[in-house]
A and B are shown apart, each in its own frame.
Chain A
Amino acid sequence: MSGKTVTRAELAESVYQEVGLSRNESADLVEAVLAEMSNALVQGETVKLSSFGSFSVRQKGQRIGRNPKTGEEVPILPRKVLVFRPSHVLKDRINNGG
């Protein structure tokens, strides 16, 4: 474990190395992939990527929360949350250090 953080820049660099487009275009395509996934999710679609995992949107109902500092009760409004379910392939890779 090296504790590094990978960002868009590293993803764009890999696309640049792997596909041989310009650095700028590689960065634009990384952005386009994230934008397409986001748009699909915002429309309520599930995004399923075989051997990686799936992203889906779940509707949460209203519940009563509490401000932990003041102890005051506050309603947590109904909202949508995004859930990522990793595939078995990804889980196995993480546990075998692949």
Chain B
Amino acid sequence: MTRSELIARIAQQNPHLYHRDVERIVATIFEEISSALAAGDRVELRGFGAFSVKHRDARVGRNPRTGESVSVEAKAVPFFKTGKLLRERLNK
């Protein structure tokens, strides 16, 4: 399912809404999640899952092809933990 398919499904369930409003709803939700993560905040959606930011220290990596050492800078990476309800539904 892509973003446009998600929009189409929501639009179908809500025939009273303009299509462009459904687009804005979907865009707003993911923009909110992204900006919260960019600010270092957590996003917790009970039953679905939680987004957080994990910090990785700088390390010395290796180019797997040449074996050459390269320094990898410290960075932050987004992380998603599946919620309990969704995890259970996946395994039913």
Residues of A within 8 A of B (CB): 1-8, 10-11, 14-15, 18-19, 21, 26, 29-30, 32-34, 36-38, 40-42, 45-53, 55, 57, 79-82, 84, 86, 90-91, 93-98
Contact = CB atoms under 8 A, between A and B. Distances in A.
A2 B41 contact: yes
Interface of B: 1-3, 6, 9-10, 13-14, 17, 21, 24-26, 28-49, 51, 53, 75-80, 82, 86-87, 89-92
Nearest to A53: B78
A64 B44 CA distance: 31
Given A34-B45, A95-B75, A10 B32 contact: yes
Contact of B6 (A4, A5, A8, A36): A36
A2 to B, nearest CB: 6
A45 B82 CA distance: 16
7 contacts: A7-B46, A14-B28, A14-B31, A37-B48, A82-B49, A82-B86, A95-B76
A82 B82 CA distance: 7
A61 B79 CA distance: 23
Closest 7 CB pairs of A and B: A1-B40, A84-B80, A86-B78, A6-B36, A40-B1, A82-B82, A6-B43
B25 A37 contact: no
B1 A46 contact: yes
A2 B36 CA distance: 10
A80 B92 CA distance: 10
Nearest to A16: B28
B17 to A, nearest CB: 8
B90 A5 contact: no
